[in-house]
């Protein structure tokens, strides 16, 4: 499974959305779990000088997505739905999203994720439904 996790990590880090938007992101994947960290800069701020909710959403969705992807070794996974709750603003430091699979059936997976600030305080959380696509994991989609 270690090779699968490494391929998923490379897929995440090389995705165009991540190379364009996120400057200093890291990802760690183990079976059923994923952890993503990001250094906050003012690049991610909205008008009130705090991190925009889209950053919270992306990190939570990505952590839950890769937690599910860690246990799906043949096909790309898709987010079917994702709900978040924002509980605290953040404007500095490193934020970390931790995702974990909570339920799995043949084609449906449920995962949750929490986002923490540098002091370990939860700043947001979310739950998502994920499903297998018909797209096989391959070099063409960055799985290498």
Under CATH, to which class is 2-139 assigned? alpha beta
The torsion angle over the Cα atoms of residues 120, 125, 131 and 133, rounded to 10 degrees, is -70
CA-closest candidate to residue 38, choices 54, 70, 100: 54
Q: Is 29 helix (H, G, I), strand (E, B) or coil?
A: strand
Residue 114: count of CB within 10 angstroms of its CB? 19
DSSP per position, 49-77? SSB-HHHHHHHHHHHHHHHHHTT--SEEE
**Is the pLDDT assigned to residue 24 strictly greater than 90?**
no
pLDDT for the residue numbered 21 = 87
**Is the pLDDT assigned to residue 9 strictly greater than 90?**
yes
DSSP secondary structure letter of residue 4: H
**Is the pLDDT assigned to residue 74 strictly greater than 80?**
yes
**Is the pLDDT assigned to residue 33 strictly greater than 90?**
yes
Average pLDDT, the chain: 96
């Amino acid at each position: 499974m270690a090779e699968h996790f490494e391929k998923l990590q490379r897929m995440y880090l090389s995705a165009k959305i991540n190379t364009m938007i996120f400057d200093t992101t890291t990802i760690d994947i183990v079976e059923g779990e994923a952890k993503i960290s990001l250094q906050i800069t003012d690049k991610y701020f909205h008008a009130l000088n705090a991190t925009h909710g889209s950053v919270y959403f992306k990190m939570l969705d990505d952590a839950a997505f890769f937690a599910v992807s860690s246990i799906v070794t043949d096909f790309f996974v898709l987010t079917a739905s994702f709900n978040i709750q924002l509980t605290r603003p953040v404007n500095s430091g490193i934020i970390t999203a931790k995702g974990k699979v909570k339920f799995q059936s043949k084609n449906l997976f449920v995962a949750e994720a929490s986002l923490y600030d540098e002091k370990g305080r939860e700043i947001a959380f979310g739950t998502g439904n994920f499903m297998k696509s018909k797209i096989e994991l391959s070099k063409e989609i960055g799985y290498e």
